């Protein structure tokens, strides 16, 4: 009897988006260099010129391997970058069109919602005035009925007053304009209050955020780039720092 075939390994139908063998080879070389680096670090410090020269050769070799591996990474990544960029560019125009459509449609809807809210508020104000009038009349009728011992009139006046007070409470509630869906398939839209910054004095805003690490990092990068181009940056100076290269 023939033995059944072993099940295919997980992910066999979706290979990794890179050359697995080359990646493993790169990892092996990196680990070998790291092992050698460990021996150098065990020295704590360089004592002789010969050691310094050998370390220079080690750094050069590690850099060469790093450059080679990174070049392989870029080569294997480029088709994916090209494909991703192509997809991004292909969808840029339809998405831009739809964004413009939605921005204008929401602006149009927002204008209607503001006017609808004003209309509802006016209706609510009129309803509140009417409810207050009916309540006042009911209280007056209630007082007359009590004075005349008119029990039927008193019951009717109390009922009218209770109804008017209920209407007053309803008219005091906050109104909210809504734009429902004509077909029932769309999400109801309404006005939403959001806070935005409207910069009136850029310098004052900068002074407020001047100690923010993100602002300092941005200024550092801008100033360094400008100085390297030979520009004079007010508030910054050019300094030379020695770095291993």
Distance CA 76, CA 85 (A): 15
Average pLDDT over residues 143-159: 84
Are 106 and 168 within one domain? yes
Are 130 and 223 within one domain? no
Domain with 210 in it: 200-231
Write the pLDDT tens digit of every residue in 98-125. Answer: 889 988 988 899 888 889 989 988 888 8
Are 210 and 109 within one domain? no
Does residue 8 fall inside a structural domain? Answer: no
Per-residue model confidence (pLDDT) at position 8: 53
Work out whether the CA dihedral 214, 218, 224, 227 comes out positive or negative.
negative
Does residue 72 fall inside a structural domain? Answer: yes
Residue whose C-alpha is closest to residue 72's, from 27, 33, 23: 23
Write the pLDDT tens digit of every residue in 19-29. Answer: 889 999 999 99
Per-residue model confidence (pLDDT) at position 1: 44
Are 116 and 158 within one domain? yes
Does residue 217 fall inside a structural domain? Answer: yes
Does residue 57 fall inside a structural domain? Answer: yes
Does residue 222 fall inside a structural domain? Answer: yes
Q: pLDDT averaged over the chain?
A: 85
Q: Phi/psi of residue 189, each to 5°?
A: -110, 145
Does residue 42 fall inside a structural domain? Answer: yes
Does residue 243 fall inside a structural domain? Answer: no
Per-residue model confidence (pLDDT) at position 165: 81
Per-residue model confidence (pLDDT) at position 65: 93
Are 64 and 145 within one domain? yes
Are 126 and 158 within one domain? yes
Are 62 and 155 within one domain? yes
Are 55 and 84 within one domain? yes
Q: Please, where are the H alpha helices in the chain?
A: 20-41, 49-147, 151-172, 202-209, 213-228
Report DSSP state, residue 174: P
Write the pLDDT tens digit of every residue in 31-80. Answer: 999 999 998 888 888 889 998 999 999 999 999 999 999 999 999 999 99
Are 167 and 209 within one domain? no
Per-residue model confidence (pLDDT) at position 243: 63
Are 75 and 175 within one domain? yes
Per the structure, how many domains does the chain have? Answer: 2
Are 52 and 167 within one domain? yes
Give the confidence band of 3 by pLDDT, cuts at 50, 70, 90.
low
Write the pLDDT tens digit of every residue in 208-226. Answer: 999 999 999 999 999 999 9
Are 30 and 136 within one domain? yes
Per-residue model confidence (pLDDT) at position 244: 55
Per-residue model confidence (pLDDT) at position 6: 54
Does residue 237 fall inside a structural domain? Answer: no
Q: What angle do CA 13, 15, 20 make, to 5 degrees?
A: 150
């Amino acid at each position: 009897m023939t033995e059944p075939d072993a099940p295919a390994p997980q992910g066999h139908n979706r290979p990794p988006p890179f050359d697995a063998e080359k990646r493993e080879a790169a990892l092996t070389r990196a680990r070998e260099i790291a092992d050698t680096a460990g021996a150098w670090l065990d020295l704590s410090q360089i004592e002789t010129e010969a050691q310094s020269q050998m370390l220079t050769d080690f750094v050069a070799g590690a850099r060469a391997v790093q450059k080679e591996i990174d070049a392989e990474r870029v080569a294997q990544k480029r088709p994916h970058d090209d494909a991703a960029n192509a997809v991004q560019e292909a969808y840029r125009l339809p998405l831009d069109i739809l964004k413009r459509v939605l921005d204008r449609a929401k602006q149009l809807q927002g204008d209607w919602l503001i006017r609808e809210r004003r209309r509802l508020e006016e209706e609510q104000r009129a309803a509140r005035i009417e409810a207050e009038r009916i309540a006042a009349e009911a209280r007056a009728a209630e007082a007359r009925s009590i004075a005349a011992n008119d029990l039927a009139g008193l019951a009717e006046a109390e009922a009218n007053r209770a109804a008017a007070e209920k209407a007053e409470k309803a008219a005091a509630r906050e109104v909210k304009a809504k734009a429902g869906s004509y077909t029932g398939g769309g999400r109801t839209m309404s006005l939403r209050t959001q806070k935005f910054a409207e910069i009136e004095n850029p310098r004052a805003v900068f002074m407020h955020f001047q100690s923010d690490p993100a602002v300092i990092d941005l200024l550092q990068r801008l100033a360094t780039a400008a100085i390297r181009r030979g520009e004079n940056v007010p508030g910054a100076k050019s300094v030379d720092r020695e770095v291993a290269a």
